[in-house]
Amino acid sequence: MVEVAPVGGGGSPRPKAPEPDGPLRIRGGVGGINFQFEELLAGAAALDGLVRQLQAIEVEAEAVRVALFPHQASSYTSGSNAIIAVGESGRDIGRVREQLQRIGNDVRASHREYEFAESHAAIRLRMGMGMPLLGTGPSPLDLGWRGATEGVVRDLTRMLELMMGLPPVAANLAGAMIGPTDVGAVLRAIAATPALAFLRPRSIDVGRGETVTKSVDLSAAGMLRELDSVSASSEGEIEVVQLDKDGERTWVVLIPGTQPGNPPGGSNPLDEAGIAEALGYDSTETSKAIRQALLEAGAAAGETVVAVGHSQGGIHAMNLSQDKAFLAEYNLKFVVTAGSPVGGITPQAGIGSLHLEHEQDWVPGADGKANADTKDRVTVTMTNPIGLAPGEDPGIGPAHKLSRYEEGAKLVQLSSDPSLAASTAALGGILGVGGMAKVSRFKLSRGAPQPPPVPVPRVPPPAPSVRPHAPSDIRSGSGGR
């Protein structure tokens, strides 16, 4: 909610950060600070229109007052009263206009202060001053593993410069020129190494699996539960759900998280090499495979699509929101991610997204960037303590498990926070509440690596042969003279 200072109170309207909703911290959406400022500026523009109307009324009131002067002698008392009444009305209108102008100026002053604070923070980040160095300041447990990972990755360039012996001032200046760590560029540089060529994207084949008709729960929690079953029952498979809602078809694509390969870079495109493709190459080949799966499932051009992914799968899902080829063919309306580092992805305008994170899950911070705070983009960070049952495999961290994010999605559904309520309503408006749907599995298989080109030895061309002159040629040549 926006806190507005009373008229004449001397304070500028200031946005208010959303309060935590139990174990949920919320950023973005209609309750986010950025959208509150957008509303304030839109309100200031509307006030400008009212001010202009009141100015025109003031001019008309003054013209009426002046026009009454010649008639004052006809009836002095009533004429004088009319002139006075019109004059006071004009002054009242002027006072209202001045108050509205003051409110508009306060709103714009508040926005300027916010922009200054944002610019100051951005400069500090570019200079590598956003997070404390390792060994100083709060421990990762105080920051949360997600926040600590984001800070370390973002400031990695500055840290390496300090480790190489650059003085802090020089490291800060270098950090200001280079900026935060570009994880995608780092991964592309690593993949360029001949020994790590398996990290480079390769073409992906799509094979159709079984298709069944069953009841599905189309809430965020229900889709994450379905995604968990896809992850547990197969490798390299995605699921495409066809919904018929009010005579129109809508499609949901479910993309699992990383499935470790042995070795990585094998036939499963969702192994560790898939992370490099997702963060370093914008999911180029995986996006093509998802388009192919939708086509084989029967999706027609222009139909509505919702993408849901966990961990690496969430990066692939979010990359669809900026893939021009995909968006030219399908109407992607919403993306749900769970435990995915997607802060560096900017979706096309109008595409909604809900990002679930946990403060003790380091994976969402692995790209070194926080998700943007916009009207259509809501990030929910869970803060509830995480424990392991006896004998439970921690994986890469107990907070990263998809079942934890399913629990968080249930809390999102029950929340009355304006951003979460609007996000849940938007997703429900696209998909409905659930029911019978056609569910198809598709097996994705990465092509075999191309063998390195064998250098062909260069054979030098044969030397030109020199034909000796025949004696007759010599004689004929000399005889010509």
Classify residue 365 by its DSSP letter: G
7 assigned to some structural domain:
no
- Considering the domain architecture, whether residues 341 and 219 belong to the same structural domain is answered as yes
Ranges of the chain with pLDDT below 50: 1-2, 4-8, 126-128, 131-141, 161-164, 166, 169-177, 474-481
- pLDDT value, residue 153: 81
210 assigned to some structural domain:
yes
- pLDDT value, residue 234: 84
Examine the fold and report which residue of 126, 142, 176 is the final residue of a domain before the chain moves on.
126
- Considering the domain architecture, whether residues 287 and 431 belong to the same structural domain is answered as yes
From residue 22, give the alpha-carbon distance in Å to each of 17, 130, 324, 415: 15, 28, 39, 9
395 assigned to some structural domain:
no
- Considering the domain architecture, whether residues 198 and 118 belong to the same structural domain is answered as no
143 assigned to some structural domain:
no
- Considering the domain architecture, whether residues 116 and 202 belong to the same structural domain is answered as no
304 assigned to some structural domain:
yes
How far, in Å, CA of 426 to CA of 432, rounded? 10
Indicate the burial class of 196 (C-beta count within 10 angstroms; 0-12, 13-18, 19 or more): middle
Examine the fold and report which residue of 126, 148, 167 is the final residue of a domain before the chain moves on.
126
Look up the pTM and report it: 0.76
- Considering the domain architecture, whether residues 220 and 317 belong to the same structural domain is answered as yes
- Considering the domain architecture, whether residues 338 and 442 belong to the same structural domain is answered as yes
Pairing of β 331-338 and β 352-358: parallel
- Considering the domain architecture, whether residues 198 and 78 belong to the same structural domain is answered as no
Q: How many CB atoms lie within 10 A of CB 25?
A: 17
- pLDDT value, residue 143: 57
- pLDDT value, residue 156: 67
- Considering the domain architecture, whether residues 204 and 122 belong to the same structural domain is answered as no
- Considering the domain architecture, whether residues 207 and 339 belong to the same structural domain is answered as yes
- pLDDT value, residue 420: 94
Give 90's contacts (C-beta < 8 A, 6+ positions apart). 58, 61, 62, 65
Give 52's contacts (C-beta < 8 A, 6+ positions apart). none
- Considering the domain architecture, whether residues 282 and 372 belong to the same structural domain is answered as yes
139 assigned to some structural domain:
no
439 assigned to some structural domain:
yes
Domain count, the chain: 2
364 assigned to some structural domain:
yes
- pLDDT value, residue 229: 93
Contact 368, 157 (CB under 8 A): no
Q: Residue 273's domain is classified under what CATH number?
A: 3.40.50
Token pair in block for residue 343: 């802060």
DSSP output for 237-287: EEEEEEEEETTEEEEEEEE------SSTTSS-TTSHHHHHHHHHSTTHHHH
3-state DSSP assignment of residue 216: strand
Examine the fold and report which residue of 126, 148, 171 is the final residue of a domain before the chain moves on.
126
- pLDDT value, residue 412: 95
- pLDDT value, residue 264: 87
- Considering the domain architecture, whether residues 414 and 268 belong to the same structural domain is answered as yes
Give the sign of the dihedral formed by CA 464, CA 466, CA 467, CA 472: positive
In terms of residue numbers, what domain contains 52? 13-25+32-126
- pLDDT value, residue 472: 53
- Considering the domain architecture, whether residues 93 and 209 belong to the same structural domain is answered as no
Q: How many residues does the chain have?
A: 481
